[in-house]
Amino acid sequence: MTGIIAPSLLSCDFARLAEEIAAIEAAGADWLHLDVMDGRFVPNITFGMPIVAAMKKVSTKPLDTHLMIVEPDRYIEGFAEAGSDWITVHAEACPHLHRSLQAIRSTGAKAGVSLNPGTSLNAIEEVLGDCDQVLIMTVNPGFGGQNFIESGLKKIARLRRMIDELPSHQRPLISVDGGVKPGTVEKVVAAGADVLVAGSAVFKAPDYSQAIAELRSAFP
């Protein structure tokens, strides 16, 4: 499975949430990327489980929940019950990362692990075969609309090589999140990304379909 476009609702108009979800799905979104922030792991605060549950009611696509929170283990079950199909935790927030990934899978959700730009791939090397998605941050998490950090490209390419060495049934998807837009997306895909997360590049564009098609065209 490659070539997945996951618009981040962080940049949508929250006053028109249901309409925005309908519009982005009609425009060709494959997944909905939901950025949960707690004001502790990252400086910003967004939304929690009740909003995810509300989104679930009006969406038909997989919900890809990105937890930028401390002690995510406390909320895994809650976000799964709210309807998350994918739950991603940050390696930096998980002293027992293997256990956290198992906990996600035990809810029936797919398990993801994310890395900040300053965190080495070494932090996830031992759990690569135990997760379904690795989310590489190419901005420091917390806000939409930031500039892409170029050093992320080498990291994505190295991760691609590490994953390709695993048996095929154990290979997680590579997602890239932060500053993905025309101009960076080509490099991100060339480095080996499977999933593109994009907030401002989609929701600040005049035409969602065109913005999604443009991102998708980066895939071979």
Under 8 Å CB-to-CB from 218, ≥6 apart: which residues? 185, 186, 188, 189, 196
- Map the footprint of Zn ion across residues 1-40, applying CB under 5 A: 35
Residue matched to tokens 């290979």? 171
Residues binding Zn ion: what is the number (CB under 5 A)?
Answer: 3
Under rule CB under 5 A, residue 90 binds Zn ion: no
Q: Closest CB to ligand DX5 among 40 and 99?
A: 40
Q: Which of 127, 116, 34 is nearest to 75 (CA)?
A: 34
Q: What, of Zn ion, ligand DX5, none, does residue 115 touch, CB below 5 to 8 Å by kind?
A: none
Q: Which residue of the chain is nearest Zn ion when measured via CB?
A: 66
Q: Annotated catalytic residue: which of 30, 64, 177, 194?
A: 177
Phi/psi at 6 (nearest 5 deg)?
-125, 90
Rounded Cα–Cα distance for residues 74 and 65 (Å): 15
Of 12, 52, 55, 66, which one interacts with Zn ion (CB under 5 A)? 66
Give bridge partners of residue 197 from the DSSP assignment: 6, 177
Q: Annotated catalytic residue: which of 35, 38, 132, 194?
A: 35
Q: Are strands 110-115 and 63-68 parallel, antiparallel or unpaired?
A: unpaired
> Would you call 177 a catalytic residue per the annotation?
yes
- Map the footprint of ligand DX5 across residues 26-65, applying CB under 6 A: 33, 35
Q: How far is the CB of 14 from Zn ion (least distance, A)?
A: 16
Q: What is the CA radius of gyration of the chain?
A: 16
Q: How far is the CB of 86 from ligand DX5 (least distance, A)?
A: 13
Rounded Cα–Cα distance for residues 26 and 30 (Å): 10
Q: How far is the CB of 127 from ligand DX5 (least distance, A)?
A: 20
Q: In degrees to the nearest 10, what's the CA dihedral of 6, 7, 8, 12?
A: -160
Rounded Cα–Cα distance for residues 180 and 122 (Å): 24
Under rule CB under 5 A, residue 64 binds Zn ion: no
Q: What, of Zn ion, ligand DX5, none, does residue 200 touch, CB below 5 to 8 Å by kind?
A: ligand DX5
Give bridge partners of residue 113 from the DSSP assignment: 89, 134
Catalytic residues: 35, 177
Residues that bind Zn ion (CB under 5 A): 35, 66, 177
Residues that bind ligand DX5 (CB under 6 A): 8, 10-11, 33, 35, 66, 139, 141-146, 177-180, 197-201
